Structure formats: C-alpha cells, structure tokens
Chains A and B, each alone.
Chain A
C-alpha cells in the first residue's frame, strides 16, 4: 500500500451566506503516484473541492492534509508549491506577454536561476507541443493552445501533485489526447500524483480510480470498470456512461448476445462478432 499524499477527513464547507453545504462530510485519500478522477454533475462540489486542495477555501469542519502539511494559513504556500493547478478557463490564468514569459512567471516567482529557467520553459513547452509558439502573444492563441501553455506553466514548477480542474474540456480531441498522454508520461517518469476533475469519460476511464461526487458528498468510489457498471445510476446523476456500455444495453434489447459490459470498443466488437455472427 502506497502512502497517502492527500487525506481529507470529514470535511464540511459552505460558501459565505449560504445555508446549503457545498461539501458535506467528504472523506477521501489520494495515494502517492495515483491518477484519481473526480466526476460529478455541475454543482456537485467538484470545483469547490479542487479549490480547497489549493488553499483557496478552508474547511468549516474536518481536516485536509496535503504532502504532510495540514491545510492552514501558515502552510498554504508550502502546499501550493507542491500542488500545481490547471483551471478550466485559460484566459483567467494567463499573465505573460508571450508564451515563454507566461511559463517563466511561476519559475521567476520561485527564484529559479535564469539558466535553469530557460531550459525548463523549453522542456515544458515541448511536452505540451507548444515549443513552436515560444514568442507568440497569448491572445493570438486559441483556447486549446492557451490551455497547453497553462499546463506547461504548472509542470515547469515540478510539483508533486497536478490537479486538472476540467482542464481538457476546451481542447479538441487531438489536443486532449496530447495533453492526457503528456500527463500520463509525466506521472510515470516523475511519480507525479494526478487528480483530474472532469466530465469527460475518456479522461475518467484512464484514471486508476474514480470518485463520484453528488450534491457535495462522495456518492461512489471504485475502479473505472466498477463505476461504469453503475450505468443508469450515473445517467440519473446527470453523468453519462461510455459508448460500449450504452451500445451493449441496446443490442441486448434486440436479442444480441453480449456476455458482459465491456469498457473498450475493441472487446465489444469482438464479442459482438464471435457470439452473434460467426456461426
């Protein structure tokens, strides 16, 4: 069993002036080096939780510990140095006048020597496929390109944990694929812990573990296989199920033989062919 890099115990939180809890008795752990996806409908508490992990909100009750630091005012900068965050809208997180200035911004604030900085900026941009845009002004980039630069800015700081708050929701399929592949590669090379908050099933199905939030509480927790078996239950929560699971359901109604619920298209195609056509 790997050690926990984040532990959240019985956390409650309400926005100022609100009576409804945005987070209600949330308890969960994140193991070092794991990829955890947090899914839930809009308003389920996902983003509130994300902001709490970066010390933008503090729990009303309960404790949060990140990289052995309790979430308190005095440790918030230690935590932020170790947990890099990529938000949904890239326009709100751009500060530089050029792409490379933007990536360098965080490094400069952390007093990284110039030579190291130049190297890290280039390496980070290379990883997100934006090296060719080094001197472009951010407002000339499309949303997806900006987001890749934002991710470069985070990985340049070499955090222990990277938190993607719907960070791929504005990318096109190719851009999304590129970013997810990059994140996967970084995770493996540097034992990075990844938390992705997402509606995207593709993205969630690549995680080691999924947590489903509903109305501010943890609704279910499990591997992607376990979670996607919930099928109708997920749809009722405003979520979706992967295509192969949906198709299997419909085919069974038409008297096709489909033995189990496959998550991959490849497996379902094979099952469909061998059990129904190849006779």
Chain B
C-alpha cells in the first residue's frame, strides 16, 4: 500500500513538474525574457586593495583617520553613523583628550532636554554619545534630499556584496550616461535630479557626486587628497565602522587555530595509539 501510494504521489509531482517545465520552456523559446537595462549596464565593484585585505590584514590607522576626516567634512552632512560612538575613535589612534575635543566640536549637536523647562534642546556631544543624526527624522531627511533618505553608514560595507569595494566604486563611479545605453533603452534616461552611476543597483541614485574635486579636504599628514585617495580612505573608514573588531577577531582566530591544530594532532595520535591493536591483519 505504502509503495503504491508513493508511486502515485511521485508520479503526480514529477509529472506536473515536467508539465511546468514544458510550459516554461515553451514561453522561454517563444518569448525570450527581455534584457533589462540593469542587466546590461550594471557593473560589479572595481578591484581596489587595502591594508586589511586577506586573512591577516590590519587597518592602517592613518588611513582610517583620513577617512574619518572625509566622513566628517563631506558625508556627515547628510549621513548618520548611529552605531558608532565618539569613544570608539580611540581605535583610530586618537587619545582621550582628542576624542573629547572631536565630540565637543562636532557640527551636529546631540538632542537633549532643557533641564529648566523640559523643552527639547541640544547639547555638545560627549565621548560616550553615538554620532548625532544630521536629520531629526526620516521626513526631514527625505525633504532635504530630493525625497531620498540618506542611509545610515555604520554598516554600509557589510550591507552590500563586496561592500568596501562597492563604496569606493560608487564614490568614484559617477559619470555621464553612455550613449549606447540611451540608444538601446531610450526610456531609461536618468530622471531629473538623479545621477547616473553604473555601480548602483538601479543605475540612478539621488546622491550627487560627493567627492567632486581633488583637494576637497586638506589632509594633515601630507597625503595628496585626490578623489581616488579620498574615496579609498572613506571606504576604509566605513569598513572599520562596520567591523570595528576585525583585528581582534583575526588575532583570536590565529591563536585558536594554532591551538586546535596542536590539540587535533594530539587527538589523532591518541586515536591511532588506542586503535593500534585493532587495526592489524589477524
């Protein structure tokens, strides 16, 4: 009984899947799916190398500081960094007093309550505070940015495939829409107020090119602030904001694996030793 029932159920599922396949194949042949503009013009992130690449790479503190400067002077006008606190900046090589000064001088103030009246007020951030958000809420953010909400950047490099390279490619990827695209897809002209960028999923984004000219920031360590350099530095900084424990993790991993290799070697020898008398012919 079980096998007859199984045979019928199997025949039904396999048979109907085959029918579905034939239906799908027929429409695939008669009306092949049209290529979309994203299929043809979206680009995978560029190749770019960083000090933290590979299993044992480390952050370059000076690069992180430069990237932080780009974030501070360019990105932070619109983008929040809500999971990062000022105190975390000590990992970039700033000392306690410097972090305190950075927090105090931050252009955006931390929301608070007036202790006398209870009315909403603002105060200078302190190291324990997370980076204050540039907009009070999403409505204000959308209103100020052509109806697009600038995303929080804390986790951006983990929230996209090949995130670090993605951020770098996006920042350096703004360009004129290719003539070939307009020829093939005349309806896909970049709408007014958006900007063409082949590294963005749907090719047009609301953000204007944020790094538009060499020398937009002035690096105190003498590095030449080309657009490419600034994009690399801020991508490195955003990799740190997304994965601040990367160096601890790799160091702990190395120690763990060395320990486990030794322990497993010993376990293997004791296994062989215990079985020695059983693994012989007669």
Report if A and B associate in a common complex.
no
Listed in ascending order, the chain A residues whose CB lies under 8 Å from chain B are none
